[in-house]
């Protein structure tokens, strides 16, 4: 094989500068998570297929990358499926493992498996890649990172408040006040209350999925779809009113007179609204949006979503009441958020919001020219490194121009050289003047000042 090599569709390599930017995002999120008492865990990339299948709905199942069993896998293959060439039917018998497609299901599995060692409420964060056999397109990858924080084993709405504040801390730091973002929150119980008030409780999920499209097809599209699916005109009118009304809380309260779940939703929302005001969260950034729906099936309480202009959601989350039930641990409530690192990456890049990553790369290059450089510079080089300065020597005696090109491409700030009289010089890349020095200690002082 001597064709130019490539990588699978929807996957990416990350170059040094891309890594520096990504690490900046991860480190910022990680620092904030820790400040809020979250502890990091990691789960394997591979889970048993049984753990993943059937959690996120049928659509998710087809998005799961399955791993072929090792060895003579056809020996245990389902005979009938093999003869029928039934790919779907065959899969489970030849692929027992799969790559996780989110961090929520592995977390639920982890909690149940380690329930005797975990002290609840458990505040965990997890930053790992996930894999989805989605059709790749701009901004949608088959391998991408999620940065999740969840609190499991506590019903308190203080957890919601913490998570909203975390979102605000992270984006305050990443956007440095130069980019607006909107944190919307709602409660699934509001949607349940609407469904109940209009006598369509049993169609809640269907209704939620349609309302979830508001961003894409706007209110007219939603109304059209609601009517096409034979929801009553009253519902459509109410949704339309809800969007335009300046005081949706009152409108909902009035509507929920006979809906216990709706009123519970209002109560929860009001607690959150009051508390985030109390801790000084800027109101124009964090707003109640009664039509926020979020597609995922497992949410049962608060839902949260963060947007900036011209981008899809960059962070989202919510409360779920039974995520661990599938694995045999019932009635454990949790709430969590997930930052989409790849979209945040693009947002920062498009808005020119990355800091300079100077300390991250080499600071000092010792050039290699005169035949004596290696002997003179090597002990100095190691002294600089011991002093915590990122430094290197050009390993080969090649043309000056090539060494300078290397320094420039790597953004190296200081260039150290010698002349044939054995005099030593250091030059800052953005400055014409060479400064003469004699010892490593002098050089360190010059650089650190």
Residues in region 103-132 near its own copies by CB under 8 A: 109-110, 112-114, 117, 119, 121, 123-124, 129, 131
* Interface with its own copies, residue 448, by CB under 8 A: no
Closest distance of CB 192 from its own copies, Å: 24
25 scored as a contact of its own copies (CB under 8 A): no
Site string for its own copies, 331-360 (x = CB under 8 A): -----------------------------x
- Interaction residues for its own copies, span 38-57 (CB under 8 A): 39-48, 50-51, 54
For residue 439, what are the CA distances in angstroms to 62, 161, 190, 362, 446?
64, 56, 72, 20, 11
Q: Which is nearer to its own copies, 147 or 308 (CB)?
A: 147
Among residue numbers 74 through 93, which ones bind its own copies (CB under 8 A)? 74-75, 77, 82, 85-88, 90-91
Tokens of 265: 């939703």
CA distance 95 to 203: 36
Q: Please report, as residue ranges, which positions from 163 to 192 form the binding site for its own copies (by CB under 8 A).
A: 165, 169
H or E segment to which residue 150 belongs = strand 143-152
Q: Cα–Cα distances in Å, from 93 out to 44, 68, 152, 209?
A: 21, 10, 34, 33
Residues 191-250 that bind its own copies (CB under 8 A): none
Identified binder of its own copies from the candidate list 159, 208, 338, 367, rule CB under 8 A = 159
DSSP assignment of 98-111, as one string? EE-S-SHHHHHHHH
**Of the candidate residues 21, 60, 66, 192, the single one contacting its own copies (CB under 8 A):** 66
User: Cis omega (within 30 of 0) on the bond before 414?
Assistant: no
Cα–Cα distance, 164 to 232 (Å, whole number): 35
> Given candidates 236, 245, 285, 362, which one binds its own copies under the rule CB under 8 A?
362
Q: Nearer Cβ to its own copies, position 96 or 196?
A: 96
Binding of its own copies by 158 (CB under 8 A): yes
392 binds its own copies (CB under 8 A): yes
Q: Does 137 sit near its own copies (CB under 8 A)?
A: no
The pair of structure tokens assigned to 295 is: 């597609």
Count, residues near its own copies per rule CB under 8 A: 111
Residue 182 corresponds to which tokens in the numbers above?
């909107």
* Distance of alpha carbon 159 from alpha carbon 157, whole angstroms: 5
CA distance 322 to 332: 6
Taking every pair of C-alpha atoms in the chain, what is the biggest distance, in angstroms? 94
Which stretch, 32-40, 209-217, 222-230, 421-429, contacts its own copies (CB under 8 A)?
A: 32-40
Task: Name the minimum Å distance from CB 330 to its own copies.
Answer: 9
Q: Work out how close the CB of 337 gets to its own copies at its nearest, in angstroms, rounded to a whole number.
A: 15
Lookup: tokens for 99: 């790559």
Which of 285, 351, 370, 390 binds its own copies (CB under 8 A)? It is: 390
The whole-angstrom separation of Cα 199 and Cα 193 is 10
Helices (H), 97-157: 104-113
Could you identify the residue written with the tokens 């010698």?
418
Q: Does the protein bind its own copies through residue 328 (CB under 8 A)?
A: yes
Choosing from 211, 269, 389, 447, the residue that interacts with its own copies (CB under 8 A) is 389
């Amino acid at each position: 094989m001597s064709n130019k090599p490539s990588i699978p569709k929807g996957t990416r390599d990350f170059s040094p500068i891309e890594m520096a930017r990504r690490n900046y995002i991860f480190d910022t999120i990680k620092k904030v998570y820790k400040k809020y008492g979250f502890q990091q865990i990691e789960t394997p990339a591979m889970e048993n297929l049984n753990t993943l299948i059937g959690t996120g709905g049928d659509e998710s199942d087809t998005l799961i990358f399955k791993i072929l069993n090792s060895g003579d896998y056809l020996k245990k293959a389902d005979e009938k499926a093999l003869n029928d060439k039934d790919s779907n039917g065959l899969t489970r018998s030849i692929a027992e493992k799969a790559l996780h497609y989110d961090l929520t299901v592995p977390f639920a599995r982890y909690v149940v498996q380690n329930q005797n060692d975990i002290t609840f409420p458990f505040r965990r964060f997890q930053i790992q890649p996930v894999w989805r056999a989605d059709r790749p397109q701009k901004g949608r990858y088959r391998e991408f990172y999620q940065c999740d924080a969840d609190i499991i084993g506590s019903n308190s709405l203080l957890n919601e408040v913490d998570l909203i504040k975390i979102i605000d801390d992270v984006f305050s730091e990443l956007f440095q006040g130069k980019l607006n973002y909107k944190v919307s929150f709602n409660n699934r119980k509001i949607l349940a209350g609407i469904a109940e008030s209009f006598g369509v409780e049993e169609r809640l999920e269907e209704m939620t999925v349609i309302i979830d499209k508001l961003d894409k097809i706007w209110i007219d599209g939603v109304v059209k779809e609601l009517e096409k699916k034979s929801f009553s005109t009253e519902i459509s009118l109410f949704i339309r009113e809800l969007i335009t009304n300046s005081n949706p809380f009152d409108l909902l309260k009035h509507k929920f007179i006979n809906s216990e779940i709706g009123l519970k939703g209002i109560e929860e929302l009001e607690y959150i609204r009051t508390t985030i005001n109390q801790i000084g969260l800027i109101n124009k950034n964090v707003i109640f949006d009664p039509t926020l729906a979020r597609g995922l099936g497992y949410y049962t309480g608060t839902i949260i979503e963060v947007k900036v202009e011209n981008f899809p959601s960059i962070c989202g989350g919510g409360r779920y009441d039974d995520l661990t039930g599938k694995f045999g641990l019932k009635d454990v409530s949790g709430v969590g958020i997930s930052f989409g690192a790849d979209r945040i990456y693009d947002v920062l890049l498009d808005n020119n919001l990355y800091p300079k990553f100077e300390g991250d790369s080499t600071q000092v290059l010792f050039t290699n020219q005169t035949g004596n450089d290696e002997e003179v510079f090597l002990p100095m080089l190691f002294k600089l490194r011991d002093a915590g300065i990122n430094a290197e020597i050009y390993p080969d005696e090649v043309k000056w121009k090539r060494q300078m090109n290397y320094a420039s491409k790597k953004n190296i700030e200081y260039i150290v050289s010698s002349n044939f009289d054995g005099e030593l010089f250091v030059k800052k890349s953005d400055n014409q003047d060479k400064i003469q020095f004699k010892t490593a200690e002098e050089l360190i002082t010059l650089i650190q000042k």
